[in-house]
Chain A
Amino acid sequence: EVQLVETGGGLIQPGGSLRLSCAVSGFTVSSNYMSWVRQAPGKGLEWVSFIYSGGSTYYADSVKGRFTISRDNSKNTLYLQMTSLRAEDTAVYYCAKVTADGFDVWGQGTMVTVSS
């Protein structure tokens, strides 16, 4: 069964760092394109970051230089390292598998709250 499970969310102070994990089962992370998408409370979806199977990474302007997407092939897990966190980064963070079909498989999301 294809499944994505995000963990690592929580309450963090402004300026702090947090690492989100997305454990994948049913397919191989390293062979697929993967992405992070976030949704602020009561707001719409926002694309955050993307990693190609070859390892190239891309970011939205809003997080560039502060967030880093990566993967551990041995653990079949995707990560999002978030630094210099701001109140506006407060959101549910989803990981998703990306194909030519679009964002076709999504996790259940993990909540990140940036507040003092």
Chain B
Amino acid sequence: QSALTQPASVSGSPGQSITISCTGTSSDVGSYNVVSWYQQHPGKAPKLMIYEVTKRPSGVSNRFSGSKSGNTASLTISGLQAEDEADYYCCSYAGSSTYVFGTGTKVTVL
């Protein structure tokens, strides 16, 4: 149950697009299309942003999109806005009714 690997930080200017990677193994990300992404602002609970790799819950901006290739999932934020500045975590089903989260990425809007 090792954490999925994410870059510690990613930054971009308003209006730009950024992509956060989430690298796992063939036992988690590579085996299941059960990858989700969470946004967490300081002192707040996480918020679901993407589920089942590419799907957006109702109410989440279409500026957020997800994808997966092999053992790596990605979250792309397009048209970056100041309110997008937060920590982002990926999460994958890892089999046997267990889950594993990513190490987290701090997104900074320059």
B57 touches A101 (CB 8 A): yes
Tell me how far the C-beta of B40 lies from the nearest C-beta in chain A, rounded to whole angstroms: 8
Contact of B101 among A46, A62, A109 (CB under 8 A): A46
Provided the pairs A50-B98, A58-B96, A94-B46 are in contact, do residues A104 and B89 lie with their beta carbons within 8 angstroms? Answer: no
Shortest B98–chain A CB gap in Å is 6
In the complex, A33 Cα to B80 Cα: how many Å? 34
Pick the contact of B91 from A47, A58, A60, A61 — CB < 8 Å?
A47
Residues of B within 8 A of A58 (CB): 96-98
Interface residues of A in 35-88 (CB under 8 A from B): 35, 37, 43-47, 50, 52, 56, 58, 60-62
Give the docked Cα–Cα distance between A102 and B96 (Å).
16
With an 8 Å Cβ cutoff, the count of chain B residues facing the other chain is 25
A45 to B40, CA, bound (A): 10
Contact of A52 among B1, B40, B47, B97 (CB under 8 A): B97
Q: How many Å from the CB of A86 to the closest CB on chain B? A: 17
B64 at the binding interface (Cβ < 8 Å): no
Tell me whether B99 and A47 are in contact (CB under 8 A): yes
CB within 8 Å of A: which of B77-110? 89, 91, 96-104
Chain A residues 91-116 with CB under 8 Å of chain B are 94, 100-104, 106-109
Which residues of A6-54 have CB atoms within 8 Å of chain B's CB atoms? 35, 37, 43-47, 50, 52
Are the CB atoms of A104 and B57 closer together than 8 Å?
yes
Which residues from chain B contact A100 at a C-beta distance below 8 Å?
34, 51-52
Q: B91 to chain A: which residues have CB within 8 Å? A: 45, 47, 102-103
Closest-by-CB residue of A relative to B105 is A44
Q: In the bound complex, what is the Cα–Cα distance between A102 and B34 (angstroms)?
A: 8
User: Whole-angstrom distance from the CB of B19 to the nearest CB of chain A?
Assistant: 19
Closest chain-A Cβ to B38's Cβ sits at a distance in Å of 7
Report the nearest B residue to A51, measured CB to CB: B97
Asked if A44 meets B46 with Cβ closer than 8 Å, knowing A60-B1, A103-B38, the reply is no
Kindly state whether residue B10 has any CB partner on chain A within 8 Å. no
Q: Which 6 A-B pairs have the closest CB atoms?
A: A102-B36, A44-B104, A106-B45, A102-B51, A58-B97, A101-B51
